[in-house]
Structure formats: C-alpha cells, structure tokens
C-alpha cells in the first residue's frame, strides 16, 4: 500500500505541471479540501456569481462602457482582468476571488494612487506558512499575506474624480486594531482546526488552518461580535425617554464599511398598552453625491460618478454613541420598548434576505 500511495502522489505531482495557469479552484480543492470547502462559502467565491453584482455590472457597462466593466471585474474577477478574459469565457474567471489569484500575489504597492498587487501566475504558490512544502507545486513564504496589505487592492479605491469610494483599508490604518498590530486576518481569517492538505494526500503535523470562509458583514456572528448596544428608559412627566447606547466594539474599521450605499439602522419602537405605536430611527452611513450635488443611490453610480460625501455618520472603530429619543406617553401607561439593529447591504436587492438582516434586538417593559 505505501508503494501504491507513493506512485499516486508522484503522478499527482507530475500532473500538476500540466495544469492551466491560473488554475481553477477545483484543482486546488483536490488536495486542500478543507480550505476549498470553506472558501466556497465565502463572499470571495460568490463575488462573480452574485445576482446583485451582475445587475451592477450590467448597469456600469451601459453607463461607462468597456472601461467600467474592467474596473468592476478587477476586484470581482481579478483573474479575468489579469489574463484578459473580460468576456468571461473561462471557468476560472467565474470563480470570483479565487485561490490562484490570492496565492500568486507577490507584493502590494501603495505608491501612485490605488493599491496595486504584483501577481505571478505559475507553479509557485505563496502564503503565510514558512516551512510549507507541496507534492504538486512550489511554495514560497509571503510576508504580505499576513498583513492588511493583501486586502488593500480591493478594499481601497479612488475613482477617476479622486473620490474615495472604498475606504476600509484607510479606516483600519487609523483604528486601534492597526495600532496594536492586529491585521484584517485576525477577525476575518482566524485560525481554526483543520488540515492544510487532505491527510489522504499528505500527512502533516499542522492541525490548524486560516479560516477561508472569511466572514464579514453578511455574518450574523461577525455583526453581533462587532456591534454592542444597551437600552435604557426613564419617564419625565408625559414623556418616555429612551436612550440606546451603540458601540463599535470589535470591528477594525467603520461600520458599515465597503460600498457607500451600505447602512446600519437603529430602529426604536414603543407600543403602549392602549394600542398606541411610535417609531423612530437613526441611520449610520454615507450620503454620496455626484459633481452636481445629486445624491447617488445605485452601486455603479457611486463608483463611477461619486464626487464627495455630504455626510458620514458611520461608527468608527471603538466609537460609542448615545442615541436619545422621546415619546409622548401618559403617566402610568405601561409600554414595551424594542430597539433593533438592522444592516442594509444594497438598495438594489430584490430579495429582502439579500437587502437587510436584523442582528440585534433589545426589549424592555416600562411600567
């Protein structure tokens, strides 16, 4: 049996040299099964196939032509842009931010405008393991893969008007997380139990792997971990005073971050025992306008025509705010107070599940 296994591994190694480059994630998954399985659940894997992105891509191309299409694909299908497959004829181009793209990055430069990655597709794959070895390809330790720089090319972007559309990397640089040396990977690619290589292919002493599902704002767990809230009430004559303390306690960037259209909303509802209902809300987000001052409400508009933010009410990393509300409520009338935090992803979503998610609710009975 050992001899048969060795022959199989030699054949696998020899066959690897015949792979097309860049390789499909399915090829990587033959050996890196745990990593591949997690990645397939990620927003990176769905970056191209997302219906929201497809709609935005179509509108962007109608507005800005081939250059706008290339701009969108540079982050949603970076392989396609690198190899010139803008028509998306190859399977690997539909795999979003795929394995062979990230593990072919050699360095990232912040010089001359938007961050740029130097990518070398080929038989050598780069990553954070210093003593990695492979039977199927060469390996190279990469310092940049353990830093926030690896994320910068797609999470920091200024458009042709000089407007900072994507600011996540810059927000992180100004955060307590950056000051303490904690990079993006600490929250989004934490170390978990798992095998870098399937044990059937190669036995290894490594019992941990970086989480490649890379949970972000679509993760209830991440949202609940990042944002905390506290609900307080008091009475003053015929007024019910409600205070909600909202804290960005864990995110190493502003909340919300990413697209300027994303919003975090705090909804406060009061229901009196006499049937009266009251509702108020606070919105945390950006309001982006074009050069003429027109507010923009579609993804492709803010990327192509965004000129400035007229307001930015997002929660900075570590920031705490007290939001105060007042409702007319007769003395002695009992009421239920509910505070909800709702994350809005995109106004373009037709499916409510893709548009928003409620991740925190607080209730209090006011006697």
Task: Work out the pLDDT band at 287, boundaries 50, 70, 90.
Answer: very high
Structure tokens at 272: 């009196």
What's the average model confidence in pLDDT over 100-106?
97
What's the average model confidence in pLDDT over 190-207?
68
Alpha helices in the chain (DSSP H): 2-16, 25-29, 33-39, 51-76, 78-83, 99-102, 152-155, 168-173, 176-179, 185-188, 220-226, 299-305, 352-355
Q: Which of 109, 150, 110 is closest to 127 using CA atoms?
A: 150
What's the average model confidence in pLDDT over 222-241?
96
Q: Which pLDDT belongs to residue 10?
A: 39
What's the average model confidence in pLDDT over 245-273?
97
Judge whether residue 164 has pLDDT over 80: yes
Rounded to the nearest integer, the mean pLDDT of the chain is: 91
What's the average model confidence in pLDDT over 314-319?
98
Q: Domains (ranges, CATH) in the chain?
A: 2-210 (no CATH), 220-366 (2.60.40.3880)
Judge whether residue 237 has pLDDT over 70: yes
Q: Which pLDDT belongs to residue 38?
A: 94
CB atoms within 10 A of CB 260: 25
SS3 74: helix
Q: Which pLDDT belongs to residue 129?
A: 87
Question: Which strands make up the sheet holding 335-344, listed edge to edge?
Answer: 308-312, 277-289, 263-272, 335-344, 356-366
pLDDT in tens, 112-147: 889 999 999 999 999 998 887 888 899 999 999 999
Measured distance CA(321)–CA(267) in Å, rounded: 15
Judge whether residue 224 has pLDDT over 90: yes
Q: Which pLDDT belongs to residue 29?
A: 93
Judge whether residue 9 has pLDDT over 50: no
Judge whether residue 15 has pLDDT over 60: no
pLDDT in tens, 39-97: 999 999 999 999 889 999 999 999 999 999 999 999 999 999 999 999 999 999 999 99
Residues 6+ apart with CB under 8 A from 5: none
Q: Which pLDDT belongs to residue 112?
A: 83
Measured distance CA(326)–CA(281) in Å, rounded: 12
What's the average model confidence in pLDDT over 280-296?
98
DSSP state of 1: -
Distances (CA, A) of 21 to 125, 137, 172, 269, 295: 11, 12, 33, 56, 43
Task: Work out the pLDDT band at 4, boundaries 50, 70, 90.
Answer: very low
Q: Which pLDDT belongs to residue 6?
A: 40
Out of 19-33, 87-101, 253-267, 316-330, pick the least confident.
Answer: 19-33
What's the average model confidence in pLDDT over 309-338?
97
What's the average model confidence in pLDDT over 243-269?
97
Strands 116-119 and 105-109: antiparallel
Stronger pLDDT, 199 or 138, i.e. the higher one: 138
């Amino acid at each position: 049996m050992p001899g048969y296994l060795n022959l199989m591994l030699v054949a696998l190694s020899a066959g690897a040299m015949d792979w097309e480059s860049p390789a499909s994630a399915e090829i990587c998954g033959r050996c890196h099964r745990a990593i591949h399985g997690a990645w397939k659940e990620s927003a990176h894997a769905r970056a191209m196939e997302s219906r929201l992105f497809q709609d935005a891509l179509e509108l962007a191309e109608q507005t800005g032509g081939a250059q706008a299409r290339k701009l969108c694909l540079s982050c949603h299908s970076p392989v396609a842009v690198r190899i010139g497959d803008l028509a998306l004829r190859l399977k690997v181009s539909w795999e979003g931010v795929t394995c062979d793209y990230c593990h072919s990055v050699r360095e990232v430069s912040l010089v001359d405008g938007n961050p740029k990655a130097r990518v070398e597709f080929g038989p050598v794959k780069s990553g954070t393991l210093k003593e990695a070895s492979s039977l199927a390809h060469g390996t190279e330790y990469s310092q940049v893969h353990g830093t926030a720089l690896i994320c910068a090319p797609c999470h920091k972007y200024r458009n042709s008007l000089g407007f900072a559309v994507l600011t996540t990397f810059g927000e992180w640089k100004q955060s307590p997380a950056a000051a303490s040396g904690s990079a993006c990977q600490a929250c989004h690619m934490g170390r978990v139990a798992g095998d870098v290589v399937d044990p059937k292919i190669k036995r290894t002493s490594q019992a941990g792997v970086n989480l490649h599902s890379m949970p972000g704002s679509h993760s209830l767990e991440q949202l609940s971990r990042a944002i905390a809230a506290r609900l307080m009430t008091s009475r003053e004559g015929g007024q019910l005073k409600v205070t909600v303390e909202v804290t960005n306690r864990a995110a190493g960037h502003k909340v919300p971050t990413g697209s300027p259209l994303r919003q975090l909303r705090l909804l406060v509802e009061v229901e009196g025992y006499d049937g009266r209902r009251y509702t108020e809300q606070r919105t945390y987000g950006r309001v982006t306008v074009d050069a003429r001052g027109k507010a923009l409400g579609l993804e492709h508009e803010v990327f192509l025509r965004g000129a400035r933010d007229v307001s930015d009410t997002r929660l900075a990393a570590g920031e705490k705010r007290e939001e105060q509300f007042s409702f007319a409520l007769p003395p002695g009338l009992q009421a239920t107070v509910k505070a909800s935090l709702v994350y809005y992803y995109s106004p373009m979503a037709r499916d409510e599940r893709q548009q928003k998610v409620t991740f925190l609710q607080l209730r209090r009975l006011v006697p």
